Chains A and B, each alone.
Chain A
């Protein structure tokens, strides 16, 4: 059941890279995640396999009884799902790396538009997440709160009067909620102001993380900003805490872009054009280099320095040049060297064809 459905997903872009939500030139996506546990089982690390199977079944039965969720895609991650398919789901942010690499009974339900997923037996019994393109936190909160209510009517969550929803790690206790916004900030990186932005955000109790790569090294200039605290503030307040800083950062990035255009337009134009040139003509190219160059091109399009190419197209390339996506689209396993060639061909095909009417939509 999972094979063909995942193949269908592979050809599409998915919600978070759709590139059509509010402020989506700079805000890639808004994501809200809730962690929940059943009250009658240990937390995941102390679960026996029998327990895990029972937890999985409890949630599957509950989900199956919700009429609005009839069309959800069910993926048994513990089953015969190949490593490539698991990696594919991680690349699309439908499951976490933790769920992919854990052992024992675990699964995920995915909505066909990829706006939400329900992970079962991750770090907590249930991790649900909603993702929207662009800056759309209020709508995302409405959606996930509704999802939570539906499940709440059917299962018994572990909840403590004083401490709130109980989670395996005390860092999530209370609301169990992580609110994140992903931003594309190439100008702040070029003008070397990104560290300053990090420090300000951290002083405000917000966490910043590069999307790809480790620590502050963010390949593709994608950064994710999220709340750190989950207890003592209401869900609405936590959403507000994150939502409030985003316009400030957007403004900051736009100012930096304007600065670059004003002070070094020729250099900037050269940079983005060269990036575009390499992507169009390279015969073999690594994932890292691709992310780096696509980031430049994406900014170039926004600034009008590259014409006849659209941001949603670039978004699609970001995801389709990822290792598992390449292999799924090609329909076979590829080693690193083969993937680098495949990636180059894919890029050439899609960047050059634009003149003939382009890729169009997802």
Chain B
């Protein structure tokens, strides 16, 4: 099927529900980006919600039950659920890119047309494991504090201090 706005193949099938009747659009990646970005209202400084809209599109490829299960999945480090990500268009922590890799990979391909970084790299060795573990420990410490379990909180704090060094 061809894109409704140009000659390329249509890879995006968007059902617009904002008007009186549902409207079906079939667009190629570039025209879809244009279309979706045009529909973002609000002041220019607001970060693009393209990811948000595209995340909603994932729904089209999945049965409701499957999606409901997916929505429940929560990152073990920061606790964000896939549902929360879909609605905000923002991820919770660096580990989400690993934990939700299966869902994010097609999304990232749709946004960028590419899946692999070819640019600059940090000079230091990114200590990935230690890093995201700290995220989990900080959250655990916060929750312990909220529950007023200060003994548990201080255990976590010690672990955090240990990792930070």
- Asked if A pairs with B, the answer is yes
Contact B93 A46 (CB under 8 A): yes
Contact A168 B30 (CB under 8 A): no
**Given that A39-B132, A152-B122, A170-B107 are contacting pairs, would A207 and B112 also be in contact in the complex, using a CB cutoff of 8 Å?**
no
Q: Which residues of B contact A2 (CB under 8 A)?
A: none
Contact A98 B46 (CB under 8 A): yes
Interface residue B34 (Cβ < 8 Å from any Cβ of A): yes
Contact B112 A158 (CB under 8 A): no
Contact partner of B126 (CB less than 8 A), chosen from A148, A159, A175, A205, is: A159
Q: Which residues of A contact B139 (CB under 8 A)?
A: 42
Contact B118 A39 (CB under 8 A): no
Interface residue A15 (Cβ < 8 Å from any Cβ of B): no
Q: Which residues of A contact B44 (CB under 8 A)?
A: 209-211, 214, 224
| Chain A residue nearest in CB terms to B163 | A40
Within 95-133 of A, Cβ neighbours of B (below 8 Å) are at 96-98, 123
Contact partner of B48 (CB less than 8 A), chosen from A39, A41, A158, A171, is: A171
Contact partner of A163 (CB less than 8 A), chosen from B45, B117, B127, is: B117
A134-156 interface mask toward B, CB cutoff 8 Å, 1 = contact, 0 = none? 00000000000100110011001
Contact B90 A40 (CB under 8 A): no
A202-229 interface mask toward B, CB cutoff 8 Å, 1 = contact, 0 = none? 1101010111001100000000100011
| Chain B residue nearest in CB terms to A162 | B116
Report A310 CB to chain B, min CB distance, Å: 28
Within 62-114 of B, Cβ neighbours of A (below 8 Å) are at 77-80, 88-94, 97-98, 104, 107-108, 111-114
Contact partner of A232 (CB less than 8 A), chosen from B47, B88, B107, B113, is: B113
Q: Which residues of A contact B10 (CB under 8 A)?
A: none
Interface residue B147 (Cβ < 8 Å from any Cβ of A): no
Bound-complex Cα distance A48 to B135 (A): 11
Contact partner of B120 (CB less than 8 A), chosen from A46, A145, A173, A203, is: A145
Bound-complex Cα distance A165 to B108 (A): 13
Binding site of B, secondary structure by majority: helix, strand, loop or mixed? loop
Q: Which residues of A contact B123 (CB under 8 A)?
A: 149, 152-153
Contact A46 B78 (CB under 8 A): yes
Contact A231 B112 (CB under 8 A): yes
Report B132 CB to chain A, min CB distance, Å: 7
Interface residue B43 (Cβ < 8 Å from any Cβ of A): yes
Report A291 CB to chain B, min CB distance, Å: 15
Q: Which residues of A contact B131 (CB under 8 A)?
A: 39-40, 156, 158
**Given that A40-B134, A166-B94, A231-B117 are contacting pairs, would A48 and B142 also be in contact in the complex, using a CB cutoff of 8 Å?**
yes
| Chain B residue nearest in CB terms to A44 | B90
Interface residue B161 (Cβ < 8 Å from any Cβ of A): no
**Given that A149-B123, A156-B124, A158-B131 are contacting pairs, would A43 and B117 also be in contact in the complex, using a CB cutoff of 8 Å?**
no
Interface residue A330 (Cβ < 8 Å from any Cβ of B): no
| Chain A residue nearest in CB terms to B35 | A202
Chain A residues proximal to chain B, CB less than 8 Å:
37, 39-43, 45-46, 48, 50-51, 90, 96-98, 123, 145, 148-149, 152-153, 156-160, 162-166, 168-171, 173-175, 177, 202-203, 205, 207, 209-211, 214-215, 224, 228-235
Q: Which 7 A-B pairs have the closest CB atoms?
A: A232-B114, A164-B117, A97-B45, A39-B131, A158-B94, A231-B112, A42-B93
Query: Could you pull out 18 A-B pairs where Cβ atoms are within 8 angstroms?
Result: A42-B92, A42-B139, A43-B91, A43-B92, A51-B138, A97-B46, A156-B126, A160-B117, A166-B94, A169-B91, A170-B91, A171-B51, A177-B119, A207-B37, A229-B112, A231-B112, A231-B115, A234-B119
Chain B residues proximal to chain A, CB less than 8 Å:
6, 30, 33-34, 37-38, 41-48, 50-51, 77-80, 88-94, 97-98, 104, 107-108, 111-124, 126-128, 130-132, 134-135, 138-139, 142, 164
